[in-house]
Chains A and B, each alone.
Chain A
């Protein structure tokens, strides 16, 4: 029986397409699922926005729900200054959401269960947000590292702490998504192993498995939501400085 961690193995699906330096780059199962997430979400939204009927059909209603959900999120957490960043936040949410959900499809692969993927996304967000803040406020941006109204003599302690706290953001953002997805899938695999091993009594873990699968669906949506809303909050910090 396959071990619980084997589902996360990355292997080449095609022959190497090209090389970067000495490293051959081939299409992996992870890359295929990323492409799948992009294709499915783009297809869904293109079909949903294609007809633009007054009374929306099923797919159009779904696309509108996504749009309004993220629209509200950006408006509530960033304000009107966040309108410009709506396309980025929307793409971020949809990509993460489809990555998480495609992983729950049998024989699927969860690319968000790899720290390399989530940390890359978090690092891009972190760098972008920092640069946006620097461009918008110039050197005044660094007042983010000193809490408003604290006495001046506490600065030597508070500034390093705030700096470390700021630098810990991409770590917490990426580890949260990666850990949730990995833990969920390992749990599912281990419980599935019990079903086979216990024979007739396997019905008990099977029942638990059904419940956990529902929970994992919740976690998949919730983590995509949290990843996106935290990006909004960080963006808000950079745009408005407290």
Chain B
């Protein structure tokens, strides 16, 4: 067996090992994440998302109210309305994130059960 043939066989063997490990383990493409993101880091991102969503809604509402107040000269009233709307928006955003997360969890569970 020549040197080149030996190298080719070696490469074949290594490729087969990697493929097997890939098919067996976490490497299977899961669809929604492109298959690269691990479970724990995904959850960290979701937690962060919810926390910031909660703040952003209120800030956006209050800011819009404040601007409208300055424009129309109705000092505190539109700020109060904007703040309350912002709270509503924040809650609906958080609810939506949690809902989407639950849907994805369920899809993942179903996919795992099917296997």
Contact = CB atoms under 8 A, between A and B. Distances in A.
Interface stretch (A40-48, A130-138, A159-167, A199-207): A159-167
A76 B34 CA distance: 8
Given A161-B92, A164-B64, A168-B61, A175 B56 contact: yes
B34 A164 contact: no
Contacts of A225: 37, 45
A164 B35 contact: no
B85 A175 contact: no
A218 interface: yes
B21 interface: no
A164 B64 CA distance: 8
Interface string A63-88: 00000110011001100000000000
Interface string A100-130: 0000000000000000000000000000000
B93 A168 contact: yes
A165 B57 contact: yes
A160 B9 CA distance: 67
Interface string A157-181: 1001110110111011001100110
Most buried by A among B44, B55, B56: B56
A222 B57 CA distance: 23
A63 to B, nearest CB: 15
A226 interface: yes
Q: Is the interface of B mostly helix, strand, loop or mixed?
A: helix
A164 B57 contact: yes
B97 to A, nearest CB: 10
B56 A180 contact: no
Interface string B20-63: 00000000010110111100010011001100110111011100
B31 A165 contact: no
A167 B34 contact: no
Contact of A168 (B34, B36, B45, B86): B86
Contacts of A180: 48
Contacts of A172: 49, 52-53, 55-57, 93
A164 B56 contact: no
B44 A168 contact: no
Nearest to A72: B34
Contacts of A222: 37, 41, 44-45
A226 B45 contact: yes
Given A172-B52, A172-B53, A222-B45, A164 B29 contact: no
A180 B34 CA distance: 23
Interface in A168-227: 168-169, 171-172, 175-176, 179-180, 218, 222-223, 225-226
Contacts of B49: 172, 176, 226
Given A175-B56, A225-B37, 20 more contacts: A72-B29, A76-B34, A160-B85, A161-B88, A161-B89, A164-B60, A164-B61, A164-B64, A164-B85, A165-B92, A167-B64, A168-B59, A168-B89, A171-B59, A171-B60, A172-B49, A175-B55, A179-B52, A222-B44, A226-B48
Sorted nearest first, the 6 A-B pairs with minimum C-beta distance are A172-B56, A168-B60, A165-B89, A164-B89, A72-B34, A171-B56
6 contacts: A69-B34, A157-B88, A164-B82, A172-B53, A172-B93, A225-B45
